[in-house]
Amino acid sequence: MIFSRKRAGGARHARDERTAEVLDSYDVEESSPETPSRGPYDVSEAPDMPRLDLGSLQIPAVPEVEVRVQADPQGVIQQVVLVHGESALQLGVFAAPRSEGIWDEVREEIRQSLFNDGAAANEVDGEYGTELRARVRTPDGLTDLRFIGIDGPRWMVRGVYQGAAATDPTVAGPLAACLDGLVVDRGHEAKPVREPLPLRLPREMAEQATEENPAPGQREA
């Protein structure tokens, strides 16, 4: 499953096993893969377009989509949420092994965690492969969630839809467009499997946040 994305229609990057055997038997150098028609992309294969660079994630600029980030005073991002109308998409990106994807295991762990909290979760076939849908109880009442996962080369993107897009994927619209144009910059450092990849505010945004919310020792008397 190396370089695979689990979505309907099969893995996007996986070579046909028989073709791989022929190439390997003749020791022929593999040609560079064509640029995929849609993402999430690895940074090595992404087409050029305007994006908000958050380090390991680069989010495309899509009209009417608001990018909300929660960051600490050092500019390290704890949460990324895209909002459009009554729908939201929370994004996370994690380290994965070179040899296989991890969404199957992660999905089962999410399902079990929801079950332990008293929420039933159902697996359904979605645009990126198997999704998980659940209805959970929050302080604001019952909330529908739709979990998706996309395995890439040594990374996994996890998305959680909320609102209308959680129950009806056809209304995801601009949020789905952000996912299709998303870029992951995994970096080359060795990382434990499932460790969140680092996300940081762009320098200009971090400086602005510091000016608007200075540390206690920096506040004027």
Q: Where are the beta strands (DSSP E) in the chain?
A: 41-42, 51-53, 57-60, 66-71, 77-84, 87-95, 121-126, 129-138, 141-152, 155-163, 183-184
Max alpha carbon distance in the chain (Å)?
74
pLDDT tens for the chain, 221 residues long, are: 222 334 444 444 433 333 333 333 333 333 345 666 788 999 999 999 999 999 999 999 999 999 999 999 888 999 999 999 999 999 999 999 988 999 999 999 999 999 999 998 999 999 999 999 999 988 888 999 999 999 999 999 999 999 999 999 999 999 999 999 999 999 999 999 999 999 999 877 665 655 556 555 544 43
Please tell me the total number of residues recorded for the chain in this structure.
221
**Residues 6+ positions from 62 with CB-CB distance below 8 Å:** 174, 177, 178, 181
Q: Within 13 A of 109's CA, how many CA atoms are on the CB side? A: 7
pTM: 0.78
**Selection from 151, 148, 155 nearest residue 185 by Cα:** 155
Q: Residue 43's pLDDT is what?
A: 96
For 134, the token pair is: 């659940």
Q: Assign 33 to helix, strand or coil.
A: coil
**Are 67 and 79 within 8 A, CB to CB?**
no
Residue carrying structure tokens 């390997």: 24
Instruction: Give the pLDDT of residue 139.
Output: 86
